[in-house]
Structure 1
Amino acid sequence: MDLLIAPYTVTKEQADAAPATGTPGWATDGNPSTNKPATQWPAYAFNAMQEELVALIQGGGQTLNRNDNTLLFKAVKALIESNLERFAPLESPEFTGTPTAPTPVVTDNSTKLSTTAFVKSVVAGVAAVPATTLVSGISRRATTPEAQGLTSSDTTLSPASLRAAFQGTNYSATFNGFQILPSGIIEQWGVVALVTLPANSTSDAVVTFPMAFTANALSIAISVETPAPTQVSCSVMTDTLTTTGVTLRRGNSSTSTPWNVVVRYRVIGR
């Protein structure tokens, strides 16, 4: 859009001005049957509309261009967007600068916004409690099942409940037992009963762990008890270490003497 380009146009200073008198009204095409004449379209009216449009276009940051008939749209869009930047959305607004709000009374428990002054006044009214005092409703001592569950994050552990956390269903202090640690790591141990290995022989022991690991067995260590440590051995069979057990192979390399052997194991998993 641009200003009017036509023969006999004038400058703005020379343009017709609106009449000082008269009653504002609406235009008509006239009616010959009633001898009602048509409205004569004065130049000042066209100039007024042109000036209104130009003011809006330029106010929206656009430059008049006779080859672009979208300037009005661009100007309105720019004006709206520039004003929207100053307002926060209704949902999840993020304020900048230093926004303020009315300060509710100290006893207010509604959904009004809390100012820093409100928070300060509320905190000032809370009595200080010694660190060694357990306040009802703020914290409580974990029960034995909660301590042993190792899952509560809103209870305190006394020395007694901390001790209980490693007992109960979290451990079995037997020759074939286990210990569940707070990290989730599980230690298990056991004894493979004594057997006598004939000379120059092997014997496999299929071991079932005291409890099944929930994820996997990470490592295993074995020790051999025998009067012939240079001739009796024990090893873990390949690909037999699972969440529930392992296969151990005991061997006697003596060519003439049978030997007794007891195997102990310690396995770690999760």
Structure 2
Amino acid sequence: MPSANVLSPQEYAALEARLAGFQAGVARSQEVNTTLRQASFVTSSLAQFVADRSGEDVLDDGDTAAFVARLTRAVIASIASASESNAGVLPIATRAMAQAWEDDSSALTPAKLADAFMGNNQLKADNGYQKFPGGVIIQWGRASVAVAGIGTVTYPVAFPSTAFSVIVSAFNSDTTGEGANVISHSRTSFQFVHLSNNSQSAGSIRWFAIGA
């Protein structure tokens, strides 16, 4: 207020008592008023901030812990959430959120990024699969036919749309002249034939498929 009995900002900045404290004797009312108003101004501003941001009353009841708790809530409420157009903060995604590949409002730490490829998104086994963000899935495994003829393999998990490619190879370290071919494939399975010296035969294969 222009008519307030206080020092000007320049006078207050130069006031020796501001740093050294008031000594014994008579203090000028302007000096004391300025000091009290400064403290009152900052205190009331902080209290108003807490009340506005936390939605709670700020009481002069001497309960420091309660005020600190309200202040903490007020500060948290003032922090903006990050988006593609606004800077801010984001919560850390849970493992379930990371593996669902759907949340767009949480952050992935390196550990959560690793989690994102686990769970139902992978099966680490002889016959297994790995799903990737975007829909691509790779699968692998082994199969065999006990007698000459056509074998059928059902994928560990069906491709939602299609199998792009399926590759098979004969697997027998003791026999030469063996091979294998894919006869047909779908999004759920494929058929193969095992060959020995260009004739259908019993045997084992390893296979690899990619799709989406």
| Among 191, 196, 203, the residue aligned to 1:252 | 196
| Among 207, 212, 222, the residue aligned to 2:168 | 222
C-alpha distance 254-215 of structure 1, shift in aligned 2 (>3 A): closer
Is contact 2:194–2:204 with CA below 8 Å preserved after alignment? no
Q: After TM superposition, list the pairs within 5 Å mapping 1:61-210 onto structure 2.
A: 138-193=89-144, 195=146, 202-210=148-156
Give the SS at the match of 1:140: coil
The answer to whether residue 157 in structure 2 is matched with residue 211 in structure 1 is: yes
The structure richer in helix per residue is 2
The letter of the residue matching 1:214 is P
Q: Distance in 2 between matches of 1:147 and 1:203?
A: 44
Give the SS at the match of 2:120: helix
> 1:254 offset after TM fit, Å?
7.7
Q: What corresponds to 1:266 in structure 2?
A: 208
Is contact 2:149–2:202 with CA below 8 Å preserved after alignment? no
The structure richer in strand per residue is 2
Is contact 2:144–2:202 with CA below 8 Å preserved after alignment? no
Give the SS at the match of 2:113: helix
Q: What value does the CA root-mean-square deviation take over the aligned residues? A: 2.8
> 1:194 offset after TM fit, Å?
6.6
Q: What corresponds to 1:234 in structure 2?
A: 180
Give the SS at the match of 2:175: coil
Q: Distance in 1 between matches of 2:193 and 2:202?
A: 14
> 1:242 offset after TM fit, Å?
0.3
* Structure-2-length-normalised TM-score: 0.54
Q: What corresponds to 2:25 in structure 1?
A: none
> 1:138 offset after TM fit, Å?
3.4
Moved over 3 A (4+): none
The letter of the residue matching 1:175 is D
* Structure-1-length-normalised TM-score: 0.43
Larger radius of gyration: 1
C-alpha distance 254-265 of structure 1, shift in aligned 2 (>3 A): closer
5+ residue gaps in structure 1? 1-125, 128-134
> 1:253 offset after TM fit, Å?
2.7
The letter of the residue matching 2:188 is T
5+ residue gaps in structure 2? 1-77, 80-86
Is contact 2:144–2:151 with CA below 8 Å preserved after alignment? no
